[in-house]
Amino acid sequence: MVKPLDYIATARFLADHGGSRRPRQADLRRAISTAYYAMFHTLCQNCADCVIGTTGAERSQAAWRQTYRAVEHGYAKGQCRDVGVMSRFPKAIEDFGNQFVNLQESRHNADYEPTVMFARTDVNTQIDTAERAIRSFNKVALKDRRAFAVWVLMKSRRQSR
């Protein structure tokens, strides 16, 4: 099973590859992308665990996997950008959402913008921020993480009057 904090460790390795030498841009780009995927997999695991159940629960593995895979990058980003709703969640979830948006934008630059240059210090700052956001998010009460899972997974329908 994917362990999101393992992605953080890999991102750190990539950013620090070469020790005191100047890291290659390719390594810094992969570090940004990998840090984003640490957050994305945290989100996917949270959604599946909250909706279907954790490993200790009696759950359908197929339903858990389907829920895990149901998270859409763009839709989740849009939901996390909705300040009116996000501000009603605990601060750790709001911070997670903000960092998810920021890191997804950095990942797009890293993956698709050939002229953008990254500095090791900036990359390490983003990795550190992602790790803090993940650790804080995982400490939030289940009821709030469950509400957030529903918010990023399911499209809202307006109530008729």
CB atoms within 10 A of CB 79: 21
Asked, for residue 161, whether it belongs to a domain, the answer is no
Say what the pLDDT of residue 159 is: 53
Asked, for residue 69, whether it belongs to a domain, the answer is yes
pLDDT at 110 exceeding the cut of 60: yes
Residue 23: which of 118, 130, 127, 105 has the closest Cα? 118
Residues constituting the chain: 161
Residues 71-95: pLDDT tens digits? 999 999 999 999 999 999 999 999 9
Asked, for residue 75, whether it belongs to a domain, the answer is yes
Asked, for residue 32, whether it belongs to a domain, the answer is yes
Which residue's entry shows tokens 């983003």? 126
Instruction: Give the domain extent around 56.
Output: 4-153
What's the one-letter identity of residue 134? Answer: I
Which residues are within 8 A (CB) of 86 and not within 5 positions of it... i.e. 6 or more apart?
A: 79, 80, 93, 94, 97, 98
Structure-block tokens of residue 67: 């829920």
Say what the pLDDT of residue 93 is: 98
Residues 2-18: pLDDT tens digits? 899 999 999 999 999 75
Asked, for residue 143, whether it belongs to a domain, the answer is yes
DSSP annotation of 51 reads: H
Mean pLDDT, residues 97-108 taken together? 97
Asked, for residue 158, whether it belongs to a domain, the answer is no
Q: What is the pTM of this model?
A: 0.92
User: Alpha carbon of 77 to those of 26, 100, 114: distances in Å?
Assistant: 25, 7, 23
Considering its fold, how many domains does the chain have in total? 1
Say what the pLDDT of residue 137 is: 98
Mean pLDDT, residues 28-40 taken together? 97
Mean pLDDT, residues 27-45 taken together? 97
Asked, for residue 67, whether it belongs to a domain, the answer is yes
Average pLDDT, the chain: 93
Asked, for residue 160, whether it belongs to a domain, the answer is no
